Copies of this chain bind each other. A is one copy, B any other.
Amino acid sequence: MMNELEQALVEKYDIHFEDEHLLLEALTQANYLNEHPEEKGDDYQRLEFLGDAVMQQSTAVYLFKRYPDWDEGRLTELRISMVQTRSFAALSRELHLDRYIRLGRGEELSGARQRDSLLEDIWEAFIGALFLDQGQAVVMDFLDKILFAKIDEGFFDQFVDYKSKLQEYLQQDGPVVIKYDKLDEKTLANNDQIFTVEVAVNDEKLAIGKGKSTKSAEKDAARTAYQQLVQTK
């Protein structure tokens, strides 16, 4: 089992774990050890403590250097959307870490293997193990490929509530009226629907958004409007 993971790490990311006990520790949940007293070693929690901090610093250093013109508010905002449960759970799944977790029986039965909170912990523990085994530079290279590259794909947008952000931004100097109006609704050949929505503040048009539902079109419009406003500030 573990060999598959180690092989995937070598092939996709050129990562060669020296101490595979560390990798195993990162994938071992406490109750598994209770149920297997013959097993030596620790569960993932100490490595999670370490990896949590490594993720925070690695992401902060990357964003600081990549966006020299951004103020700390924008940097913090993007960091929060990157360093959080749903993002880390998605990374665990991308690396198929979920397959290799050594879980207690009760946790297995309750569906913990697919739970975001466990997959977040496991991601942090994996990064803690990688940091100890290979050092900061290898962690940064790896995150470059698997995490930072996703910024340009807009991957982290899904974790940001742009309608709230837009509202907060527009109401800085007092109350305003923000309206979302549906401009268009089309049904495609494959039966998907595409909605087009416009967002306006005090009757001034700000941006247009598209999506497969009214809600996602509104979110798209809010994101475009918010990003335009922040960039031209």
Contacts and interface: CB of A to CB of B under 8 A. Distances in A.
A60 B52 contact: yes
B72 A48 contact: yes
Given A56-B56, A57-B57, A136-B136, A64 B76 contact: no
A61 interface: yes
6 contacts: A46-B72, A46-B75, A49-B60, A49-B75, A50-B60, A56-B57
Interface of A: 45-46, 48-50, 52-54, 56-57, 59-61, 64, 70-72, 75-76, 128, 131, 136
A61 B59 CA distance: 16
Contacts of A60: 49-50, 52-54
Contacts of A50: 60-61, 64
A91 B50 CA distance: 24
A49 B48 CA distance: 22
A61 B56 CA distance: 13
Contacts of A59: 53
A48 B56 CA distance: 14
A174 to B, nearest CB: 23
Contact of A57 (B53, B72, B76): B53
Nearest to A52: B60
A46 B71 contact: yes
B53 A61 contact: yes
A72 B49 contact: yes
Nearest to A132: B64
A23 to B, nearest CB: 17
Contact of A46 (B48, B64, B128): B64
The 8 residue pairs across chains A and B that have the minimum distance between CB atoms: A53-B60, A57-B57, A49-B72, A45-B72, A53-B57, A53-B56, A50-B64, A56-B56
Contacts of A56: 53, 56-57
A61 to B, nearest CB: 7
Contacts of A53: 56-57, 59-61
